Amino acid sequence: MDGITFPYLISMAASMNLQMKLMDVVTAYLYGSLDAEIYMKVPEGITVPKPAECNMYSVKLQLSLYGLKQYGRMWYNRLSDFLEAKGFLKNEDCPCVFIQKSKKGFCIVLVYVDDLNVIGTTKDIKDIEEASTYLKSEFKMKDLGKTKFCLGLQLEHTHEGILVHQSAYTKKVLEKFHHENAHPERTPVMG
């Protein structure tokens, strides 16, 4: 799958009537493993002995911590290694897309910071459930059900398929420019 992007996969899911599930990793950045020695100043409120020759202490971190410049990369590396060990292939064009094929279909995991969209064929929902189960076995996660928002796009799941729109964004733009009470026209023209 060359040229894969998030909007492309969302449109593919909508046109092929695929299943979409959103999962949120709780405290994702704390799962990252440090790949370098990192020291930080001792936070306020923690008491340390005060010898006469030193007025400042530092501590060596053993785990990733929110606020580190490296924490996003460390979390991604940890998740990437885990998914690849479970048989997912990382897409070369879009490294936040992981794909696993099965006999009956496929499962795709889209990673956006600490949100994971799991997409799969409707024929075998088992692929999506298995992927969710793997992820929950390793990370503390919230299952948010069917994906309703993704990168500014709204998704409505119906019996006919998935409707993708941006009505919330449109409403926000109208409010920003004080046009929330404007009346829609087939051909908008300034009077």
Structure confidence at residue 179 (pLDDT): 87
CA-to-CA dists, residue 101 to 24, 48, 83, 98, 188, angstroms? 23, 54, 13, 10, 47
Q: Is 151 left (phi over 0), alpha (psi -120 to 50) or beta?
A: left
Phi, psi angle pair for 166, to nearest 5°: -135, 45
pLDDT of 93 reads: 81
What pLDDT is attached to residue 94? 85
Q: CA of 64: how far to CAs of 30, 33, 82, 138, 156, in Å?
A: 5, 6, 17, 16, 37
pLDDT for position 123: 63
CATH class, domain 6-35+66-147, is alpha beta
What is the mean pLDDT of each successive set of 10 residues along the chain, which is 191 residues long? Answer: 68 83 82 73 76 68 70 84 93 88 86 88 74 89 86 80 83 89 74 58
What is the model's pLDDT at position 2?
Answer: 47
Amino acid, single-letter form, for residue 95: P
Q: What is the pLDDT of residue 81?
A: 92
Give residue limits of the domains in the chain. Answer: 6-35+66-147
